[in-house]
Structure 1
Amino acid sequence: MKLTLENDLTYDAFLGGKLHLWQPRRGYRAGVDPVLLAASVEAKPGQTALDLGCGVGAAALCLKARLPDVDVFGVERQAFYADLAQRNGLNVLQADLAALPADVRQRQFDHVLANPPYFDRSASVAASDVGRETAMGEATPLQKWVEVAAKRLKPKGYVHFIHRAERLPDLLAALPSSMGSTQVLPIAPRTGRRAELVILRARKEGRAAFELFYPRILHCGEKHEKDGESYTAEIKAVLRDGAALKF
């Protein structure tokens, strides 16, 4: 796909302007989810992180903006998005996570994070835009995402997934026996509403008991009252100030 900057791309602010990303004007565009995912990673200086299916690099680069001493790396299947991630400043490899090259398979990371496609197309309608469909429609099985993420972890490393709440059973079932200390953070749009997203974190060789945390609420109020930003103070701090999202 040939790009014309004025027509095809936007340069969007994240984290209150601490980070700017080139994105396609049409097709899949990073939103709140990769920012929340990055905020949930409790990395330490000098550690490494791999973003599987990184898109334009939103999750990895939000993590880097909060923790500049963490070395981040991305893998992206679509050349168009991999090129944009590179332009945005992420060290990225264009590859299918199901067929990673040998040099990547030989590396291990302290953290692996992923925002896999949310929708099983056997029960939903495909998007008309190819880039958006690849990002949102599950072509590679979720089990494969979890399997690859676990393999790329160092011993005692952490995997982090954000996904639709209804896919939590699939995520838990896909975790290999090497993964433990599983934690789940539900995310609900408003007070009194059911969780629509979950962030799952698990540790390689972890032995702690499973933990299910209380839901985080995205928006103030029980219903939408008026146009404009309505994020809760905790979520606003994550999205605008680059704060961590604590489990």
Structure 2
Amino acid sequence: MRTEPFAEDELSFDAFLGGRLQIAQPKTGYRAGVDPVLLAASVPARAGQTLLDLGCGSGIAALCVMARVPGVMAAGLEVQPAYATLARRNSATNGLALDVTEGDIADMPATLRARQFDHVIANPPYFDRLHSTAAEDAGRERAMGEALPLADWVRAAARRTLSGGTVTFIQRAERLPDLLTPMAAHLGSIEVLPLIPRRGRAARLILVRGRKGGRAAPRLHDGWLLHAGENHGQDGEDYTAATSDVLRNAAALPFPA
């Protein structure tokens, strides 16, 4: 748990969405990559709707949604005070009014318990520490090592979602069973979109969406291809054109119709 604010020399300042966002994040500790950007791009938000990012970190996922869809009103919940401070800073730097609350999903602050949202997103810790090694940095470990079961994340997300609204998670593919069971209990119309690193390779990450009150049958979609070519055979990035459009031009990453 990182409580003390980061000093300036502990931070890097990174461009996201082709420079549309300038994000301060720690040089060591939890650093966002493409995962929260892909999560944000998948949210079917419209202007005037509301969004909650559970475990918002430095605010990247919520801010990416707000940058892509002007008029979305977003809130974030973050347990680590240092990262919550960064999220507020990044909100102000980019002129986007992200409402950040410090608190734990397991004991959600009353200000958020009183609200519901059109969309709830989460990029929860990926690793079950019963089967993996903890990170040395305390802030990174809190972000990456599971302290709260995924079922509790799903339950909290569903409670904060309006009828007809969506809950979307990004998670490692091997954790899919841990998501599906609680999502089936609290949500409907569940959809799974594998994120394929390269053609012919197994998905490492998945996007999983459910709808509050949804009645459609579960759907397993064809995967979204992240990289072109069978191998990384060039200097620099080799994202597919569609993925590059998401990462650089704030394009949507829609689930197949």
TM-score past 0.5 threshold: yes
Q: 1:153 aligns with which of 157, 161, 173?
A: 161
Per-residue deviation at 1:195?
0.6
Q: In 2, Cα distance between the equivalents of 1:93 and 1:4?
A: 21
Could you tell me which residue of structure 1 aligns to residue 101 of structure 2? Answer: 93
Q: Secondary structure at the match of 2:106?
A: helix
**1:39 counterpart letter in structure 2:** A
Residues 1:174 and 2:213 are matched in the alignment: no
Cα root mean square deviation, aligned? 0.9
Q: 1:196 aligns with which of 156, 179, 204?
A: 204
Residues 1:244 and 2:252 are matched in the alignment: yes
Deviation by residue 1:146-198 (Cα, 9 ceiling, x = unmatched): 00000000111100000000111110011153410111100011011001110
Deviation by residue 1:44-75 (Cα, 9 ceiling, x = unmatched): 11110000000000100000000111101000
Q: In 1, Cα distance between the equivalents of 2:235 and 2:133?
A: 29
Aligned residues: 246
Q: 1:122 aligns with which of 114, 130, 134?
A: 130
Q: 1:141 to 1:151 in 2, by over 3 A?
A: same
Could you tell me which residue of structure 2 aligns to residue 3 of structure 1? Answer: 6
Deviation by residue 1:11-54 (Cα, 9 ceiling, x = unmatched): 11000001111101111011100000000001111110000000
Deviation by residue 1:77-134 (Cα, 9 ceiling, x = unmatched): 0000000001111310010011012221111000000000000000000000001000
Q: In 2, Cα distance between the equivalents of 1:31 and 1:91?
A: 22
Q: Does the Cα contact within 8 Å between 1:150 and 1:176 map onto a contact in 2?
A: no
Could you tell me which residue of structure 2 aligns to residue 226 of structure 1? Answer: 234
Residues 1:38 and 2:45 are matched in the alignment: no
Q: Does the Cα contact within 8 Å between 2:5 and 2:85 map onto a contact in 1?
A: no
Question: Which consecutive residues of structure 1, in runs of 5 or more, have no partner in the other structure?
Answer: none
Q: Secondary structure at the match of 1:99?
A: coil
Question: Which consecutive residues of structure 2, in runs of 5 or more, have no partner in the other structure?
Answer: 92-97
